[in-house]
A = this chain, B = another copy of it.
Amino acid sequence: MDKSVFLEDLDAFAYREVLASGEAIVLIPVGSLEQHGPHLPLGTDTILSSHFAEGVARRLGGLVAQPIAYGYKSQQKSGGGNHLSGTTSLDGATLIGVARNLVKSFLNQGVRHVVFINGHFENYQFLYEGIDLALEDLGIKPGAEQSVLLLSYWDFVSEDTLRQVYPGGFPGWDIEHGGVLETSLMLHLEPARVAIDRLVDGPAAVLPRFDRLPVVPERTPATGCLSSAAGSSAARGGLLYGQVVEDLALDLASELVREPALAVVPG
């Protein structure tokens, strides 16, 4: 089991050998438990960010930590809203605390780089704050050997991929919740967990340019999805996954690996 890329599978002594190299990279997937319409499971964001982390770890020679499986509150403009059953969230202080603790624990153990792979839009700023506070706690400043990276996987989708996945035009990241991107990725990576027959087509949600609280529930479509997943396919998911993992691994290798010969570990 000591060949696993998953940290939970390693024993402490095998893990310490990795640390001893001084080059250990730990990737932490971050997702949510959130409604994703009638055709996708509640765990979609965690499942997807875990797959991206695994793909990158195999190419990069890193380790994948247990995911942060609960995320910040779903907002109506990006996830339909926190009032929808199935959506199970952490408040800001708690998510900040989780990120801060994990960064401190891993860097104190001697991990060289920690990389958060985010798969739930609303998490980003709270993860950033947790990282920043951890580095202040540890006294790590510009020029240090150790670092922490934070990214959302969709920021690595190329223009070219977008055109192929959305031949009719890309509707925008803000309403990509339970839409073609996530559905296609799930069809490619976890087809048994998609109930494609329950997919409901329909026009994209049109939400105001402001957030209003308390939410006006009827502004979220009945499906809970903000854009239609019609047009999703495993092939498009494969294209998305392959391109993003490739780009992510290249970017991280060039940023983090001292000898940037990209290691490719077969899945």
Binding site for B on A (CB under 8 A): 1-2, 6-13, 15-16, 19, 33, 35-43, 46-47, 65-67, 69-70, 72-73, 75, 82-94, 96-98, 100-102, 105-106, 109-110, 115, 122, 124-126, 128-129, 131-133, 135-137, 140-144, 147-151, 155-156, 192-193, 195, 198, 208-217, 224, 251-252, 255
Query: What is the distance, in angstroms, from A21's C-beta to the closest C-beta of chain B?
Result: 13
Q: Which residues of chain B come closer than 8 Å to A126, judged between CB atoms? A: 92, 125, 129
A214-B140 in contact (CB<8A) = yes
Q: Given the known A-B contacts A42-B10, A135-B213, are A129 and B33 also in contact in the complex, defined by CB atoms under 8 Å? A: no
Residue of B nearest to A110 (CB): B85
B66-A12 in contact (CB<8A) = no
Q: Which residues of chain B come closer than 8 Å to A124, judged between CB atoms? A: 125
Q: Which residues of chain B come closer than 8 Å to A140, judged between CB atoms? A: 214
Query: What is the distance, in angstroms, from A225's C-beta to the closest C-beta of chain B?
Result: 10
